[in-house]
Structure formats: C-alpha cells, structure tokens
A and B are shown apart, each in its own frame.
Chain A
Amino acid sequence: MPETTAAPAETGRPSPKGPGRSPSGLRLARLRDFALVPAIIAIAIVGQIVHPIFLQADNLINILQTMSEISLLVLAQALVLIVGKMDLSLESTFGLAPGVAAWLTVAVGTGSGLGLLSGFWAIPITLAVGVLVGVVNALFIVRFGLNGFIVTLGMLIVLRGLLTGISGGQTFFNLPESMTYLGSAMWFGVPASIWICLALFAVGVLVMGFTGFGRSLYAIGGNVDAAKAAGIRTDRVLWITLITASVLAAIGGLLLTGRLASVAAAQGDGAIFTVFAAAVIGGVSLNGGKGTVFGAFTGILLLYMIQNVLTLAGVPAQWIEALNGAIILTALALSRLTGGKTQE
C-alpha cells in the first residue's frame, strides 16, 4: 500500500537521514500499539499452567467483569493524559456520582437516603454529577489556568469528603432497580458491564484514531502552540475532554454500584494509582500527546490478568497488594526497556 508511494523513485539524491530508516521506524510505530500483546499471551500461558481453569470462558469473563468498572477510569485518564493534563479526581467521582444518586433516591429509613426522587432519576443524576465535576475541573484548569495536578488533587479530597458527608460514612443499600440493572444484567450470556466497557473502548479507539476531534487531543498534548497555529480551538477541546473523563468515571462508578448493589462510602478510594499505572504501562505518556486507547486497555487487562493468575496460584490475599505494586514496577521497567526511551 502507501508504503511505496511515499518513497518515489528519487534514490539518485536521497536525503541524508530519511528513507534508509523509514521502514523500521514505520513498523515500530505500528507495533507500539501492540507492545503488551506478547506479555498478555505469556501471562495467559503461565495462567493456564498454574491452573487449568484460567482459559475457561467463566474465568475470562470473570477477569473482564472485575476490570470493567476501573477500566473506564483508565479510558478517562488516557484521554486526559493524551491531551496533556492529569485528573486525579476521577477516583472520587467514581464513588460520588452514584453516591449522590443513591442519596437522593434511596427511601428514608435505609441508611442516610433522602428518598426525594424516584428511582427513574438515578442514572440521570449520576451522569449529571459527572458533568458537574468535569465542569468544575475545567473551570479551574482551563479558564483560570491552574495546574491540573493540584486542582484535581483538591477535587479528589473535596469529592471524597462530600461522599462521606452525605452517606454519614455508611453504605447505601436498597438501591432502585435502575441503578443496579447495568451492573448486574446479563446480555447474551455475558455481563452487561463487559459489553458497555468494550463498547466505550471501541468508541474511544474510533474517536481518538479517526476523528478530527480525537487527533486534536494528540496535537494539543504534543505541542499546544502548534495546535493553536493550526486553528484548533484548544480550550474547547480541553473542556470537552475533562468533562467526558468525569462522565466516564461516573459511568464506571454506576457499573460497580450495580454489581455490588450498594455504594460504599469508600468506593473508588485508591483506584487512581492502578489507573495511572495501567495507562503508563499501556504506553500513554504522562507528558501528553502520546499513547492510544487500545494501549491503555491492554495495560489494565494485563494488570488484572496477573492478579487473577496470582489468585489462582493460591497466593494469600494479604500478599496480593505488595505483589501488585511489584508487578507494576516490573511492567514499567519492561516497557522502559522495550520502549527504549526514558519514561515520563
């Protein structure tokens, strides 16, 4: 295909550094997306050796379902990182959005529910809280030009505090059916949350790879001045990205709420570390402008597969956490070695 059209028959006076290197450079660029695939296959093989149940459909579905909620945070964070910002508050939006919905819809008497609205409103409220958090983030970061790390750190603390406040530190039970449906329903024999997660990632791949909007995220993250010079409305793109990320976090929270049929006051606590690790392992740069949605997906998939293998191998639960950290560091070191360049 176009590989040959790009290098016309001008070998008589080649430019100094270009054509000689291009084929390998091209192949590398295309392969970078799939950098984690060999690792995923290797883990699958190890998993199968450790326990023959690993590759059975039930177990695979189990892995996908446990990661489906947090993977939406990874998707959200990948978008924000690519555009060159950071959003720490995603993990508390993950808890607060369904928390507010539960607070307003759960009948008086069970926990701290207010029972103000009917169950019908639960999902719209969840999404609205997501939008609102995104708007506040964008207001501080884009409009007032504050540092995204600090702004979203502040938001993380505020939102977590809000959830503790409205719930009184307790767990919301007896949720309306509309809230639990998506997280617990089965579509074609597979949990709905897996379908939703895969569908949103597919949309993400499509938008980031094949729309002018998606490409403008890369341009802004790569060189904001050049993006402006090319006529991209950078502020508007940032607004949309930050709001989308918060909404994705709210949806993720909704799915988890459905699966557990409750909203704990601590829902989402500490998830952001896994989210960052997955995104970076998946090749998304903390400096912006680099990485793909597909890569981010392989990053979180790899982490959860390893966790599953460890569980199957009978590693005591109290040790899983430490091993998890060690795995993240190892994965980072490996991707640094294979990627060749210093990771930021």
Chain B
Amino acid sequence: MGASTSPSSVTGPIAEAERITKRYGETVALDGAHITIMPGETHALVGRNGAGKSTLVSILTGLQEPDEGEIRFAGRPAPRLSERNAWRERVACVYQKSTIIPELTVAENLYLNRHDHNGLRLVSWKSMWKKAADLLEAWSVDVDVRLPAKELGVEQRQFVEIARALSFGARFIILDEPTAQLDGAAIARLFDRMRAMREQGVTFLFISHHLQEIYEICDTVTVFRDARHILTAPVMELPRGDLVAAMTGEAAGLQERKARPSVPPDADVILDARGLTDGDLYTGVDLRVRAGEIVGLAGLGGSGKTELAETIAGLRAPREGTVEVAGRRPRAGSVPDSLAAGVGLVPRDRHHQGLIPLMSIADNTTMTVPERLGTAGLVSGRRRDDLAREMITNLAIKTPGPELPVNGLSGGNQQKVVMARALASDPRLLVLITPTAGVDVRSKEFLLAKVEEIAGKGTGVVIASDELDDLRLCDRVLVMFHGRVTTELAAGWHDHEMVAAMEGVELDA
C-alpha cells in the first residue's frame, strides 16, 4: 500500500471538476457544474434529490465520463476511464450500496483480487491477515479481520470500506450519504474517525441530506440545485437559512392554491393510530385523520415516514401501538384485514409493490377486489373489463383498452393504474407513499387533484412524501426526523420551513 503522494506536497486543489456537463437522453444531470476540493478539508456537497450529486460522484470516481468538462487531481488531468487502479490511487468512494462480500472474511474483502502470495504462488493467509490487521490498526478500526464480513454492523462495514479505500493510496475519499443508515451514536463515532483521519491528511467529500451534520463536521459546503452549481462557501460563514434557501431556490415562493374547505371538527375519525413504535424506525407516533382530511407525513429517506405509512396500511406490523380504521382494528401486518377495514394503498415503488408489469391494466386495477369480479372465486372477464373501463375513464388513463399490459404505459399512466387499484375498493382511508415519484407534471397535477376530489367525498387521506408538491395540498403535515414526529405544520407553510424541518435544522438557530 503506502501513500503514493504525500498530501502535504500538494498545494493546489486535490481534486477539481470544471464545467462538467452530463446528459442522459433528454435529461441534463449536470449543466456546466464545477467543484474544487482543497487538500485536508472536509467538503460538503448538498442538494435536493435530482440536483446532480450522484452523477458528480460517478464522474469524480471515474465510473462515467462527462460529456463536457474536465476533472483534475492535484493539478494533473484525470486518468482514462479504463485505468481503474490509477483512479483508485487518486480517489476512493464509499458508496451507499455496500461493496463488501458478506461470506468472505474482512481481510479478504480488504485485499480481494490482490492477495499476498507465498513462494509457491499460493495465497498466504497469514501475511494477508497480518497486513489487514495492520491496515485497520493504522486507521484505528477495531475489527477482527478474520471475521466473516456479514457479521459486521453497518457502521463497521463502512469503516472497513473506508480503510480499503485508503489502502489503495488515495487520500481523497468521497462518502456518499454515510450517515443514512446509522444511529446517532454511530454517527458521532464516524465523525470522530473522520476528524482523526483529517489529522492524518485525508480529504473528504461528504454528501448528506442532514444539514446539521454539515455544520458539525465540514469546513466548506457546495450546493447543487437543478444540475447546476449554486454556491461554495465556508460552512461557518453561511447561516442555515441561506443554505436552505440555496438548496430550495429563492424563486420558488409560495404557490397559489385554492384554499381547501376546512374539515369540520366533528367529522368521523377515520384513522386513529396510537403509540406506534418499531425500534429505531419510528417511535411513539400518534396520528388521527378525520373523514375528508388530508394529512401529510414528511421526512427524508430514513426518517421513518415510509415505514409508518406502510404500518398504517397493514404492510408491516408495529412492535407497539395500535391502528384503528373507521372503528375497526385490523390485525397488525395483515393486508387483507386492512383492505377489509377500508384501507387503500398506493405503495412506495410501483415497480416493486405496485404493479405486475406483464399483466393487463384490467387485472392490475381489479387485483384488490376479487369478490366483485364474479361468484365462487371465478373471475368473469367481462365484469373485470367493465370495472377496469370505469376506472380508466375515472382516472383518464391513456390506453387503447383494458387488456394492454401495464408495462406498455408511460410512468404517469402506470401510477394512475396503481391509484385505480387503491381506489377500486372504495377505501375509507387512502394511504399514498411518494405518489408522484417519477411521474410527469401533467399526471402529477391530475393525481393530486384526484386525491383532493376523493378527500372531498369523505375519505381520510395520508400522504407520505418528501416532495413539496405532494405535501402542499395537505391540511396539515407531520414532519418526521429520525423516527419521531418533530414538527407539525398547518397548510400554508413556506418551502423553507418545510425543508428546514425535514433536514432537522432550526432556521432561527
């Protein structure tokens, strides 16, 4: 291993990207963006989803080539894409998705495909264990190198990945949302380790959704928005409000919406959830939704909003707490029971949980209501198609007919099919999880208008999302942070308030 370049000898930036443009078809992922990282600093890169952070990471680590622009390391142009080892000596990345092989030992994961060999050209396990142990000790990672990697926790696995990155000689490390899966204590330990490594001359590019972490660990922050570089500033000189404003964009003010009629306080309580707790996912959540009310559950990935919504819909069972829907208490974690109690669900990811791609629109939309399709368990094709046609009209799904497989539809129309399925059972409570993800603007407007229309007919609605547009139509929004409801905002909030609450920062701090 050994450091190939001592960081102290570098005076200019350790890494810089200039005028980077990257297109995927018609989407512009990066539009003339730039970033400059000085040796020894811990540099934060922030931006909302789709700002271009991941694209920049894959370009900076040599996984993709930019369409335009230039990458330089320590003043010299980046190696060609095929020279993996040359890239690895310059920059290392700990991706969100683990690249550890669970069945192999920690030592072998560290030295995979570069084993030590003895005189007989056989793998020398002893010297490899020794080397691995030395490596981990040098970076104070306290892990037994002969343990299978699957026995490590998330935190230790990350440390092992960081150590492996360093063992290639790179002293510039990109951490892509390293704290997303860690609890508070583990995050503190990660930061301790990062500080110690910074003392030893390691430079970090730190990506996180949690702004208070940026203020805790980083020296400089760069903000990307809509594929462009917005600003770079020393963290200490940038008030939190300005940082949030840079991320959301000043121009996006409050959009005019028709005020929704307020829900009468004596309306029936459709959803009554009490004391919902499931380990670290979500803790002590109470939620009441009245007939005709739209309640938002906001929060970033890992805040627990998705899990909470899935619990309400019966997809998961909570450790503690109860869910009551329209006076009934469906068995925890039972989808059929929840359906019977009157819950309709638009699940998180239409590709995984929402649709069966090769089956027809008719089959997909009527999946939740087999009892309406015929008697004695038989399915009447005509009755199914009639029902499906009704829903195709109702939701304005663009299709020649109900027999088309859903994978032939556009994203927006697919999402309408998922919505149709949720509505087929005439739910008393409609739970939607990120209902407009990957959907074009027109379909998005249509879907959200539909939600309002349904609420107007007396259905209680819960929307779990981090899209501001989804949350804007809610009568009130509960914001979750690390598994707890931290803030409740009534309709009419400002974007800045909402983003700050989701990021867990105090605007006036």
Contact = CB atoms under 8 A, between A and B. Distances in A.
Interface string B157-170: 00100000000000
A22 B136 CA distance: 15
A289 B150 CA distance: 12
A16 B186 CA distance: 9
Contacts of A338: none
B144 A6 contact: yes
A120 B28 CA distance: 67
Interface stretch (B126-134, B370-378, B389-397, B462-470): B126-134
A210 interface: yes
Contacts of A206: 122
A8 interface: yes
Interface string A7-30: 110100011111101100110010
Interface string B136-173: 11001011111110011101100100000000000000
A215 B189 CA distance: 33
A222 B142 contact: no
A26 B113 contact: no
A222 B102 contact: yes
A269 interface: no
A3 B145 CA distance: 9
Interface of A: 1-3, 5-8, 10, 14-19, 21-22, 25-26, 29, 206, 209-212, 214-216, 218-219, 221-223, 225-227, 229-232, 289-290
B146 A2 contact: yes
A22 B103 CA distance: 15
List the 7 shortest-distance A-B pairs measured between CB atoms, nearest first. Answer: A222-B101, A22-B144, A210-B122, A230-B112, A226-B99, A230-B113, A2-B129
A227 B101 contact: yes
Contacts of A16: 153, 155, 185-186
Contacts of B89: none
A289 B151 contact: no
Best-buried of B117, B121, B129, B146 by chain A (most CB within 10 Å): B146
B320 to A, nearest CB: 24
A10 B133 CA distance: 13
Interface of B: 84-85, 99-105, 108, 112-113, 115, 117, 121-123, 125-126, 129-130, 133, 136-137, 140, 142-148, 151-153, 155-156, 159, 185-186, 189
B154 to A, nearest CB: 10
A215 B108 CA distance: 9
A18 B156 contact: yes
Contact of B156 (A10, A15, A29, A225): A15
B134 to A, nearest CB: 8
Contact of A223 (B99, B136, B137, B140): B99
B193 to A, nearest CB: 10
A219 B133 contact: no
Given A17-B153, A209-B123, A219-B112, A25 B148 contact: yes
Contacts of A10: 140, 142
Given A18-B156, A230-B113, A222 B103 contact: yes
A29 B186 contact: no
A199 to B, nearest CB: 17
Contacts of A21: 151
Given A2-B130, A225-B99, A227-B101, A18 B122 contact: no
A19 B101 contact: no
Best-buried of A8, A29, A209, A226 by chain B (most CB within 10 Å): A226
B147 to A, nearest CB: 5
A156 B73 CA distance: 54
A6 B112 contact: no
A100 to B, nearest CB: 36
Given A210-B125, A226-B101, 19 more contacts: A6-B145, A15-B155, A17-B152, A22-B144, A25-B148, A210-B122, A212-B113, A212-B115, A215-B112, A215-B113, A215-B123, A218-B103, A219-B113, A226-B100, A227-B113, A230-B113, A231-B85, A232-B112, A289-B103
B155 to A, nearest CB: 7
Contacts of B112: 215, 219, 226-227, 230, 232
Contacts of A214: 123
Nearest to A209: B123
Contact of B144 (A26, A229, A231): A26
B147 A22 contact: yes
28 contacts: A1-B126, A2-B133, A3-B146, A5-B129, A7-B144, A10-B142, A16-B153, A18-B142, A18-B144, A25-B151, A26-B144, A29-B146, A209-B123, A211-B122, A212-B115, A212-B117, A214-B123, A215-B104, A215-B123, A216-B113, A219-B104, A225-B99, A226-B112, A227-B112, A230-B112, A232-B113, A289-B101, A289-B103
A15 B101 contact: no
Best-buried of B102, B129, B147 by chain A (most CB within 10 Å): B147
Nearest to B88: A231
Contact of A219 (B101, B144, B152): B101
Contacts of B85: 231
B230 to A, nearest CB: 32
A292 B84 CA distance: 31
A216 B101 CA distance: 11
A302 B113 CA distance: 34
A26 B99 contact: no
A79 to B, nearest CB: 15
Nearest to B185: A16
Best-buried of B101, B102, B145, B153 by chain A (most CB within 10 Å): B101
A98 B503 CA distance: 69
Nearest to A223: B101
Contacts of B144: 6-7, 18-19, 22, 25-26
Best-buried of A6, A216, A219, A230 by chain B (most CB within 10 Å): A6
A39 B189 CA distance: 45
A250 to B, nearest CB: 27
A163 to B, nearest CB: 37
A18 B103 contact: no
Contacts of B136: 6
Nearest to A210: B122
A5 B101 contact: no
